[in-house]
Structure 1
Amino acid sequence: MVQSKLQPIQLFVLIVLFEIGSSVVVGLGLDAKQDAWLVILLSMIGGIGLFSLYVYLYLQFPDLSLTNFLEKIVGKVIGRILAIIYICLFLYIAARILRTFGELLLTTVLYETPISVVMIVMMLTICFGCYLGFEVIARTAEIMFPWFIFFGFLFILFTFFSDLPKLENLQPVLEAGWKPVLKSAFPSVLSFPFGETIVFTIFFPLLNKQKDGVIAGYLALVFSGILLIIVTTIIISVIGSYTATKSPFALMETIGRIQIGEVFQRLDPIGIILLIIGGYFKITIFLYAAVEGFSNLIRMTSINKFMIPLMAASIIAMSILMADNSVEHREGAAIVPYILYIPLFMVIPFLLVVIVIIKKKITKRKQKRHSTQKSELLEPKN
């Protein structure tokens, strides 16, 4: 375990950047058309429920990360197998995000650049951040966050100054009923991005103020959900639900339409910079969580610097091999929640909580029985 400490405000900032990260790039809940905001709202509420499971497990083992308390709950063999599965999951998700941002840069600015070169350059900067340590990553996020929010606010402001939003694009509400909303919310948006917060169970033991850190985590989820609702609503109101659904990067198309006289136009570069900041921290958190989780599992913190380039190389390899083109990559993203996210973000954490509760009740009964027997032995006989 690294010895750096994590401030509650830093956890808040990291979770917000993590949640926004790649979510605004691909768009959330757009299958529900103009009801996408409802999808995000329901998913945020469900995400808070999932986060409560992760927090409960952390509070039972405040000094242990995910890969360590699994052994305490289900035993050494099964616990280590699950730990390895979660480490591989973190690397896989990082690879998917890296591929998404590689596709984004190829589509918008680096038209003739091989995607492998783009992803290697990105991973080099991410590896550098991981080498510096988690405390540096958290402090950097704290510095970048105000600028991230400031330019995000400018995007919203310029959209309205350009008179782009159209209220009719958001109507009618629940045109096809609740079915499309619920179908889009579960499991896709619930797991991505809200269920992905399970990665922070690796870093919770670093919190220097447990109670404040937990509160900061919940506030970050609510804040992120509200931001995602606002951005998604603006996207649909500007380009319409049909275009938003068909566009690979709906946010970039929305930003491209901003034009205030002859002064502010073609703001795509600013949009890309903001997206890259969010994506950088999301991939960094997943990579560092995999490295830290593995070192905790084998109890060798000195191996971190050797594992960073190896795991980074595996992320690059997976991101290149997972799909032949952007269409195949997006199709794969629609399947992943059912295969990986439901069992690993929802089912297993829920079962772990149930096991912990049952074990606590059994232990409590044994202690009560033991104290009763002890009192009977000490009680004087008449």
Structure 2
Amino acid sequence: MQKKEQVSALQIAFMIMLFEIGSTPLFLLGGKVKQDSWLAMCTGSLGGFILLLLLLWIQHRSPMLDLIGMLKFHFGGVAGSVIGLIYCFYFAYQSMRNVRDLGELTALTLLPRSPLPLTMFIFVMIALYAIWKGAEVVFRLPEVLLPLVLFFYFLIVLLLGIMGSIDFYRLSPVNEGGFMPIVEAALPDIVSFPFGQMIVFLMLWSLWEKPGVPVKNTVTAYIAISIFLIFMNALNVAVLGPTIAGISQLPFLKTVRTLSNLKFVERLDILVTTQLFIGLLIKMMLFYFCAVKGISELSGKPAKWWVFPVGAAIYGTSFLARDYTQHIAIGLGPSLKIDPLFQIGFPLLLSISILLRGWFKRTSS
């Protein structure tokens, strides 16, 4: 009998934090409300927290099952397997988007002369190797990478403070246009990205080495990283101002470039790009891992059977968009519209099924 892979609560917490960071600090989410974008982030994180509590409750009711097992148990073998397969495609699609992001950003920033297919292939192979080794290897990576990423962000914020680049008066007037524009900026876009992507952990909480659900570590990690992302969002506006931050494609990169007057260090934008690579790689790897895990459970075959086919599919489909502009347009358009179905719609149906099953059990007894 194959030994079940297990991870610690601390590893889960670190993975949540690095997964949620991803590439989020580089963008001004909620930029349409200008200096109130940080309030939109607060609103989005609150909405995401409510969703997180729902996901934790669902996991608590079926602590030994992952998302695929829950779908089959509550919706029946056929319907549950179909929905589970759709989720596997969704995870693979999200992984593909991160592969393309990694390749395009490498070409834009670090290696403009390197062939795009080659750099993307290298990233997929790195993820493939870790997933082939199993969950315990995948979850060890954040233990090494998260402290490094947070240290680099701390260093950049410290340098911005020393240089006097941060002016929090640029965040005023607060709530200038009222509360409704802030809500409209946060829902559903900011809830979907990055907070709603916590749906992926319904595939992972069951790997915890202890019985039950690591609620304390999960909630602590979510709150800590939400505060960090809100602060980074406000930082972009405090350095660049709401207008420039709102029109910049990568405002945090522009924020760091304001440190160009420093004489003792150059090309800090490479540091930012490296942080972006780490975040995107972990996010891509985790979606890839969940796609493999889900298909393995649906097929009844070992996960290693599916690592290469799923990796090949992710790599191949990453070229469907003819250029990066189209890739971004799809991501901010149709892709963002279907996210609530997977992040909110199916979990709500699952929770209703759990409640009805409990009610029927009580009435029949």
Which stretch shows the higher mean deviation, 45-54 or 334-343? 334-343
What are the residue-to-residue correspondences of 1:63-82 with 2, within 5 Å?
Answer: 63-82=64-83
**1:221 has 2:219 as partner:** no
Q: Which residue of 2 aligns with 1:120?
A: 121
8 Å CA contact retained: 1:169, 1:236: yes
Distance 1:26 1:114 in 2: 26
- SS of the aligned residue for 1:265 comes to coil
Change (3 A) 1:33 1:318: farther
Q: Which residue of 1 aligns with 2:306?
A: 307
Q: Which residue of 1 aligns with 2:10?
A: 9
8 Å CA contact retained: 2:25, 2:232: yes
Q: Which residue of 2 aligns with 1:22?
A: 23
Q: Which residue of 1 aligns with 2:331?
A: 333
Q: Deviations over 1:261-305 (max 9, x none)?
A: 41133211211111111111111111001101111122222xx22
8 Å CA contact retained: 1:164, 1:238: yes
Change (3 A) 1:160 1:280: same
Q: What amino acid is the match of 1:244?
A: A
Question: What percent of counterpart residues are identical?
Answer: 28
Q: What amino acid is the match of 1:58?
A: Q
Give 1:2 deviation, angstroms: 6.5
Q: Which residue of 1 aligns with 2:253?
A: 252
TM-score normalised by length of structure 2 = 0.94
Q: Which residue of 2 aligns with 1:291?
A: 292
8 Å CA contact retained: 1:258, 1:264: no
Change (3 A) 1:160 1:103: same
Q: Deviations over 1:27-68 (max 9, x none)?
A: 422222111111111111111111122212211211111111
Change (3 A) 1:245 1:105: farther
Q: Which residue of 2 aligns with 1:351?
A: 349
Q: What amino acid is the match of 1:137?
A: V
Q: Which residue of 1 aligns with 2:160?
A: 159
Q: Which residue of 2 aligns with 1:105?
A: 106
Q: What amino acid is the match of 2:348?
A: F
Give 1:209 deviation, angstroms: 3.1
Change (3 A) 1:347 1:122: same
User: Structure 1 unaligned runs (5+)?
Assistant: 368-382
Q: Which residue of 1 aligns with 2:57?
A: 56
- SS of the aligned residue for 1:172 comes to coil
8 Å CA contact retained: 1:8, 1:212: no
Distance 1:102 1:255 in 2: 22
TM-score normalised by length of structure 1 = 0.90
Q: Once superposed, which parts of structure 1, at least 4 consecutive aligned residues long, lie more than 6 Å away?
A: none
Distance 1:252 1:281 in 2: 20
User: Structure 2 unaligned runs (5+)?
Assistant: none
Give 1:225 deviation, angstroms: 0.8
Distance 1:27 1:104 in 2: 17
Change (3 A) 1:32 1:103: farther
8 Å CA contact retained: 1:258, 1:266: no
Distance 2:331 2:170 in 1: 27
Q: What amino acid is the match of 2:308?
A: P
Which stretch shows the higher mean deviation, 139-148 or 71-80? 139-148
Q: Deviations over 1:239-260 (max 9, x none)?
A: 2222222222221111122146
- The alignment yields a C-alpha RMSD, in angstroms, of 1.8
Q: Which residue of 1 aligns with 2:319?
A: 320
Which stretch shows the higher mean deviation, 207-216 or 15-24? 207-216
Give 1:212 deviation, angstroms: 6.7
Q: Which residue of 2 aligns with 1:33?
A: 34
Change (3 A) 1:187 1:210: farther
Change (3 A) 1:273 1:263: same
Q: What amino acid is the match of 2:318?
A: S
8 Å CA contact retained: 2:21, 2:225: yes
8 Å CA contact retained: 1:191, 1:337: no
Distance 1:265 1:163 in 2: 18
Which stretch shows the higher mean deviation, 325-334 or 196-205? 325-334
- SS of the aligned residue for 1:28 comes to coil
- SS of the aligned residue for 2:114 comes to coil
8 Å CA contact retained: 1:158, 1:260: no
Distance 1:200 1:156 in 2: 30
Give 1:210 deviation, angstroms: 4.7
- SS of the aligned residue for 1:154 comes to helix
Distance 1:141 1:148 in 2: 10
Q: What amino acid is the match of 2:166?
A: P
Q: Which residue of 2 aligns with 1:374?
A: none
The higher radius of gyration belongs to 1
Q: Which residue of 2 aligns with 1:278?
A: 279
Change (3 A) 1:2 1:184: farther
Give 1:132 deviation, angstroms: 1.5
8 Å CA contact retained: 1:255, 1:268: yes
Change (3 A) 1:217 1:153: same
